[in-house]
Amino acid sequence: MATVIKTQTYERWKAGSIRWLGRQVLLIPEMVLLPLVFASYFLTNHALPLAVAGELLIVAFILRTTLLWAAGRTWTLGQYARAARFAQASLRIYPWSADGVALLATVRLAQGKPELATGLFERAIALFPGYALFHVGLSQALAAERRWPEARQSALHAIALDDTCAAAHAQMAQIALNLNEAHNVALQWVDSGLAAAPLLTVQALLYTLRADAALRIEQRRMAQVAIDQVTMTLLDCPTPIQAELLYWLGTLRRRQGDTVAACHDFERIAQLDPEGRWVNAAWRARQETLLHA
Protein backbone atom coordinates (compact mmCIF):
# COMPACT_ATOMS: atom_id res chain seq x y z
CA MET A 1 0.00 0.00 0.00
CA ALA A 2 2.87 2.38 0.78
CA THR A 3 4.21 1.76 -2.72
CA VAL A 4 0.84 2.63 -4.22
CA ILE A 5 0.60 5.87 -2.22
CA LYS A 6 4.15 6.87 -3.17
CA THR A 7 3.50 6.15 -6.85
CA GLN A 8 0.17 7.98 -6.68
CA THR A 9 1.83 11.09 -5.25
CA TYR A 10 4.48 11.06 -7.98
CA GLU A 11 1.97 10.52 -10.79
CA ARG A 12 -0.24 13.37 -9.57
CA TRP A 13 2.79 15.64 -9.33
CA LYS A 14 3.64 14.80 -12.94
CA ALA A 15 0.08 15.70 -13.94
CA GLY A 16 0.88 19.34 -13.26
CA SER A 17 3.92 19.46 -15.50
CA ILE A 18 4.19 21.15 -18.90
CA ARG A 19 5.09 17.82 -20.49
CA TRP A 20 1.81 16.34 -19.26
CA LEU A 21 -0.05 19.36 -20.67
CA GLY A 22 1.59 18.73 -24.03
CA ARG A 23 0.38 15.14 -23.98
CA GLN A 24 -3.13 16.39 -23.26
CA VAL A 25 -2.94 18.48 -26.42
CA LEU A 26 -1.91 15.37 -28.39
CA LEU A 27 -5.24 13.73 -27.51
CA ILE A 28 -7.32 16.27 -29.45
CA PRO A 29 -4.91 18.61 -31.27
CA GLU A 30 -7.80 20.20 -33.19
CA MET A 31 -8.89 21.90 -29.96
CA VAL A 32 -5.67 23.95 -30.14
CA LEU A 33 -5.01 24.10 -33.87
CA LEU A 34 -8.46 25.28 -34.96
CA PRO A 35 -8.52 28.42 -32.75
CA LEU A 36 -4.97 29.23 -33.87
CA VAL A 37 -5.83 28.82 -37.55
CA PHE A 38 -8.99 30.92 -37.32
CA ALA A 39 -7.28 33.60 -35.24
CA SER A 40 -4.53 33.78 -37.87
CA TYR A 41 -7.20 33.87 -40.59
CA PHE A 42 -8.75 37.03 -39.16
CA LEU A 43 -5.40 38.61 -38.27
CA THR A 44 -4.10 38.14 -41.83
CA ASN A 45 -7.16 39.73 -43.46
CA HIS A 46 -8.94 36.48 -44.39
CA ALA A 47 -6.04 34.68 -46.07
CA LEU A 48 -7.45 31.92 -48.29
CA PRO A 49 -4.82 29.25 -47.43
CA LEU A 50 -5.69 29.57 -43.74
CA ALA A 51 -9.40 29.20 -44.50
CA VAL A 52 -8.70 26.04 -46.47
CA ALA A 53 -6.47 24.72 -43.67
CA GLY A 54 -9.24 25.32 -41.14
CA GLU A 55 -11.81 23.50 -43.26
CA LEU A 56 -9.45 20.56 -43.76
CA LEU A 57 -8.86 20.35 -40.02
CA ILE A 58 -12.61 20.25 -39.39
CA VAL A 59 -13.15 17.55 -42.01
CA ALA A 60 -10.24 15.47 -40.66
CA PHE A 61 -11.54 15.78 -37.09
CA ILE A 62 -15.08 14.72 -38.06
CA LEU A 63 -13.76 11.84 -40.16
CA ARG A 64 -11.42 10.39 -37.55
CA THR A 65 -13.93 10.71 -34.70
CA THR A 66 -16.54 9.00 -36.88
CA LEU A 67 -14.07 6.20 -37.62
CA LEU A 68 -13.29 5.82 -33.92
CA TRP A 69 -17.01 5.67 -33.12
CA ALA A 70 -17.50 3.04 -35.84
CA ALA A 71 -14.57 1.01 -34.47
CA GLY A 72 -16.02 1.08 -30.98
CA ARG A 73 -19.48 0.20 -32.24
CA THR A 74 -18.33 -2.77 -34.31
CA TRP A 75 -16.20 -3.97 -31.37
CA THR A 76 -19.30 -4.08 -29.17
CA LEU A 77 -20.99 -6.24 -31.84
CA GLY A 78 -18.06 -8.66 -32.03
CA GLN A 79 -17.08 -7.64 -35.58
CA TYR A 80 -13.38 -7.38 -34.82
CA ALA A 81 -11.97 -7.37 -38.35
CA ARG A 82 -14.14 -4.37 -39.25
CA ALA A 83 -13.36 -2.67 -35.95
CA ALA A 84 -9.62 -3.05 -36.61
CA ARG A 85 -9.99 -1.56 -40.09
CA PHE A 86 -11.89 1.45 -38.74
CA ALA A 87 -9.34 2.03 -35.96
CA GLN A 88 -6.41 1.72 -38.38
CA ALA A 89 -8.07 4.17 -40.78
CA SER A 90 -8.46 6.73 -37.99
CA LEU A 91 -4.79 6.28 -37.07
CA ARG A 92 -3.77 6.94 -40.66
CA ILE A 93 -5.40 10.36 -40.30
CA TYR A 94 -3.76 11.04 -36.92
CA PRO A 95 -1.17 8.43 -35.79
CA TRP A 96 -0.62 10.04 -32.36
CA SER A 97 -4.15 9.44 -31.10
CA ALA A 98 -3.74 7.57 -27.81
CA ASP A 99 -7.47 6.76 -27.85
CA GLY A 100 -7.20 5.28 -31.33
CA VAL A 101 -4.16 3.17 -30.44
CA ALA A 102 -5.81 1.91 -27.24
CA LEU A 103 -9.00 1.05 -29.13
CA LEU A 104 -7.01 -0.95 -31.68
CA ALA A 105 -5.27 -2.69 -28.76
CA THR A 106 -8.65 -3.59 -27.27
CA VAL A 107 -9.74 -5.07 -30.60
CA ARG A 108 -6.52 -7.11 -30.89
CA LEU A 109 -7.02 -8.44 -27.37
CA ALA A 110 -10.60 -9.43 -28.20
CA GLN A 111 -9.25 -11.28 -31.25
CA GLY A 112 -6.96 -13.33 -29.02
CA LYS A 113 -3.75 -11.52 -30.01
CA PRO A 114 -2.37 -10.42 -26.62
CA GLU A 115 1.18 -9.86 -27.92
CA LEU A 116 -0.06 -7.26 -30.40
CA ALA A 117 -2.36 -5.77 -27.77
CA THR A 118 0.52 -5.43 -25.30
CA GLY A 119 2.63 -3.46 -27.77
CA LEU A 120 -0.29 -1.21 -28.69
CA PHE A 121 -1.24 -0.49 -25.08
CA GLU A 122 2.41 0.37 -24.34
CA ARG A 123 2.33 2.77 -27.28
CA ALA A 124 -0.91 4.36 -26.02
CA ILE A 125 0.63 4.79 -22.57
CA ALA A 126 3.73 6.38 -24.10
CA LEU A 127 1.46 8.89 -25.85
CA PHE A 128 -0.67 9.58 -22.77
CA PRO A 129 0.62 7.94 -19.57
CA GLY A 130 -1.85 9.61 -17.24
CA TYR A 131 -4.96 7.60 -18.14
CA ALA A 132 -5.64 4.71 -15.76
CA LEU A 133 -7.66 2.59 -18.19
CA PHE A 134 -4.73 2.34 -20.60
CA HIS A 135 -2.74 0.71 -17.79
CA VAL A 136 -5.68 -1.61 -17.03
CA GLY A 137 -5.75 -2.63 -20.70
CA LEU A 138 -2.02 -3.34 -20.60
CA SER A 139 -2.52 -5.40 -17.45
CA GLN A 140 -5.25 -7.44 -19.16
CA ALA A 141 -3.05 -8.08 -22.19
CA LEU A 142 -0.12 -9.13 -19.98
CA ALA A 143 -2.43 -11.40 -17.96
CA ALA A 144 -3.60 -13.02 -21.19
CA GLU A 145 0.08 -13.83 -21.81
CA ARG A 146 0.31 -15.11 -18.19
CA ARG A 147 2.91 -12.48 -17.32
CA TRP A 148 1.46 -12.07 -13.86
CA PRO A 149 4.08 -9.88 -12.10
CA GLU A 150 4.01 -7.34 -14.93
CA ALA A 151 0.20 -7.50 -15.07
CA ARG A 152 0.03 -6.75 -11.35
CA GLN A 153 2.42 -3.82 -11.71
CA SER A 154 0.32 -2.29 -14.49
CA ALA A 155 -2.89 -2.68 -12.46
CA LEU A 156 -1.24 -1.07 -9.43
CA HIS A 157 -0.07 1.77 -11.67
CA ALA A 158 -3.67 2.31 -12.77
CA ILE A 159 -4.82 2.48 -9.14
CA ALA A 160 -2.01 4.93 -8.39
CA LEU A 161 -3.35 7.18 -11.14
CA ASP A 162 -7.01 6.77 -10.15
CA ASP A 163 -7.88 4.87 -6.98
CA THR A 164 -11.57 4.88 -8.00
CA CYS A 165 -10.85 2.93 -11.21
CA ALA A 166 -13.04 -0.13 -10.59
CA ALA A 167 -11.59 -1.96 -13.60
CA ALA A 168 -8.13 -1.84 -11.98
CA HIS A 169 -9.54 -3.29 -8.74
CA ALA A 170 -11.20 -6.06 -10.76
CA GLN A 171 -7.89 -6.78 -12.46
CA MET A 172 -6.09 -7.01 -9.11
CA ALA A 173 -8.75 -9.45 -7.85
CA GLN A 174 -8.38 -11.57 -10.97
CA ILE A 175 -4.59 -11.67 -10.62
CA ALA A 176 -4.89 -12.63 -6.94
CA LEU A 177 -7.18 -15.55 -7.83
CA ASN A 178 -4.96 -16.73 -10.68
CA LEU A 179 -1.93 -16.70 -8.40
CA ASN A 180 -3.89 -18.59 -5.69
CA GLU A 181 -3.31 -15.88 -3.11
CA ALA A 182 -5.41 -15.71 0.05
CA HIS A 183 -9.04 -15.57 -1.05
CA ASN A 184 -9.87 -12.71 1.30
CA VAL A 185 -7.37 -10.58 -0.68
CA ALA A 186 -9.39 -11.09 -3.87
CA LEU A 187 -12.65 -10.38 -2.01
CA GLN A 188 -11.20 -7.13 -0.64
CA TRP A 189 -10.30 -6.01 -4.16
CA VAL A 190 -13.80 -6.96 -5.35
CA ASP A 191 -15.44 -4.99 -2.54
CA SER A 192 -13.29 -1.92 -3.17
CA GLY A 193 -14.11 -2.15 -6.88
CA LEU A 194 -17.85 -2.34 -6.23
CA ALA A 195 -17.58 0.60 -3.81
CA ALA A 196 -16.23 2.70 -6.71
CA ALA A 197 -19.65 2.51 -8.45
CA PRO A 198 -18.37 0.74 -11.57
CA LEU A 199 -19.89 0.62 -15.02
CA LEU A 200 -22.24 -2.28 -15.67
CA THR A 201 -19.63 -4.35 -17.51
CA VAL A 202 -17.05 -3.98 -14.75
CA GLN A 203 -19.69 -4.66 -12.11
CA ALA A 204 -20.59 -7.94 -13.82
CA LEU A 205 -16.93 -8.97 -13.92
CA LEU A 206 -16.52 -8.08 -10.23
CA TYR A 207 -19.47 -10.30 -9.30
CA THR A 208 -17.95 -13.13 -11.34
CA LEU A 209 -14.73 -12.77 -9.36
CA ARG A 210 -16.69 -12.67 -6.10
CA ALA A 211 -18.39 -15.95 -7.04
CA ASP A 212 -15.02 -17.51 -7.87
CA ALA A 213 -13.50 -16.47 -4.53
CA ALA A 214 -16.63 -17.57 -2.64
CA LEU A 215 -16.57 -21.06 -4.16
CA ARG A 216 -12.93 -21.47 -3.15
CA ILE A 217 -13.88 -20.95 0.50
CA GLU A 218 -17.06 -23.06 0.22
CA GLN A 219 -19.37 -20.04 0.53
CA ARG A 220 -21.89 -21.46 -1.93
CA ARG A 221 -24.72 -19.09 -1.02
CA MET A 222 -22.51 -16.04 -1.62
CA ALA A 223 -21.34 -17.54 -4.90
CA GLN A 224 -24.89 -18.18 -6.14
CA VAL A 225 -26.01 -14.63 -5.29
CA ALA A 226 -23.04 -13.27 -7.26
CA ILE A 227 -23.77 -15.58 -10.21
CA ASP A 228 -27.39 -14.40 -10.23
CA GLN A 229 -26.18 -10.78 -10.36
CA VAL A 230 -24.01 -11.56 -13.40
CA THR A 231 -26.84 -13.40 -15.16
CA MET A 232 -29.18 -10.42 -14.74
CA THR A 233 -26.75 -7.99 -16.39
CA LEU A 234 -25.25 -10.32 -19.01
CA LEU A 235 -27.39 -9.29 -21.98
CA ASP A 236 -26.69 -5.58 -21.40
CA CYS A 237 -22.93 -6.05 -21.94
CA PRO A 238 -21.07 -5.75 -25.27
CA THR A 239 -20.46 -8.99 -27.18
CA PRO A 240 -16.78 -9.48 -26.16
CA ILE A 241 -17.64 -8.91 -22.50
CA GLN A 242 -20.60 -11.29 -22.76
CA ALA A 243 -18.30 -13.97 -24.15
CA GLU A 244 -15.83 -13.53 -21.29
CA LEU A 245 -18.59 -13.58 -18.68
CA LEU A 246 -20.15 -16.70 -20.24
CA TYR A 247 -16.81 -18.47 -20.07
CA TRP A 248 -16.42 -17.71 -16.38
CA LEU A 249 -20.07 -18.52 -15.67
CA GLY A 250 -19.60 -21.90 -17.35
CA THR A 251 -16.49 -22.54 -15.29
CA LEU A 252 -18.29 -21.60 -12.07
CA ARG A 253 -21.33 -23.75 -12.85
CA ARG A 254 -19.08 -26.70 -13.62
CA ARG A 255 -17.53 -26.30 -10.19
CA GLN A 256 -21.03 -26.22 -8.72
CA GLY A 257 -21.72 -29.55 -10.41
CA ASP A 258 -24.21 -28.22 -12.98
CA THR A 259 -22.57 -29.67 -16.10
CA VAL A 260 -25.61 -29.11 -18.34
CA ALA A 261 -25.72 -25.36 -17.63
CA ALA A 262 -21.93 -25.15 -17.93
CA CYS A 263 -21.92 -26.78 -21.38
CA HIS A 264 -24.76 -24.49 -22.45
CA ASP A 265 -22.71 -21.42 -21.46
CA PHE A 266 -19.66 -22.70 -23.35
CA GLU A 267 -21.76 -23.44 -26.45
CA ARG A 268 -23.28 -19.96 -26.43
CA ILE A 269 -19.83 -18.40 -26.80
CA ALA A 270 -19.29 -20.03 -30.21
CA GLN A 271 -22.66 -18.71 -31.40
CA LEU A 272 -22.28 -15.26 -29.88
CA ASP A 273 -18.62 -14.42 -30.53
CA PRO A 274 -17.12 -16.77 -33.17
CA GLU A 275 -14.21 -14.37 -33.88
CA GLY A 276 -13.36 -13.82 -30.21
CA ARG A 277 -10.54 -15.05 -28.01
CA TRP A 278 -12.77 -17.15 -25.74
CA VAL A 279 -14.00 -19.57 -28.44
CA ASN A 280 -11.11 -22.03 -28.23
CA ALA A 281 -10.98 -21.93 -24.43
CA ALA A 282 -14.74 -22.52 -24.28
CA TRP A 283 -14.50 -25.48 -26.67
CA ARG A 284 -11.76 -27.08 -24.54
CA ALA A 285 -13.73 -26.41 -21.34
CA ARG A 286 -16.85 -27.99 -22.85
CA GLN A 287 -14.90 -31.10 -23.87
CA GLU A 288 -13.42 -31.41 -20.38
CA THR A 289 -16.86 -30.95 -18.82
CA LEU A 290 -18.39 -33.69 -20.98
CA LEU A 291 -15.43 -35.98 -20.30
CA HIS A 292 -15.82 -35.72 -16.53
CA ALA A 293 -19.62 -35.62 -16.44
DSSP codes of every residue in 99-140: HHHHHHHHHHHHTT-HHHHHHHHHHHHHH-TT-HHHHHHHHH
- Among residues 149, 122, 150, 124, the alpha carbon closest in space to that of 26 is found at 124
Structural domains of the chain ordered from first start: 1-162 (1.25.40.10)
Question: Each residue of 52-65: pLDDT tens digit?
Answer: 666 777 777 888 88
pLDDT in the model for residue 52: 62
Cα 33 to chain center, whole Å? Answer: 30
| pLDDT reported for residue 35 | 64
pLDDT score of 238: 95
User: What is the reported pLDDT for 24?
Assistant: 52
Find, among 89, 103, 83, 90, the residue nearest to 61 by Cα.
Answer: 90
What share of the chain in percent tops pLDDT 90?
69
CA-only gyration radius of the chain, Å: 22
The type of residue at 28 is I
Residue 42 binned pLDDT confidence (cut-offs 50, 70, 90): low
Q: Is the pLDDT of residue 168 over 50?
A: yes
Which pTM does this prediction carry? Answer: 0.84
Whether the CB-CB separation of 75 and 107 falls below 8 Å is answered with: yes
Number of H helices, E strands in the chain: 16, 0
Res. 43 pLDDT band, cuts 50 70 90: low
**pLDDT value of position 189:** 96
pLDDT at 136: 97
Predicted confidence (pLDDT) at residue 22 exceeds the cutoff of 60: no
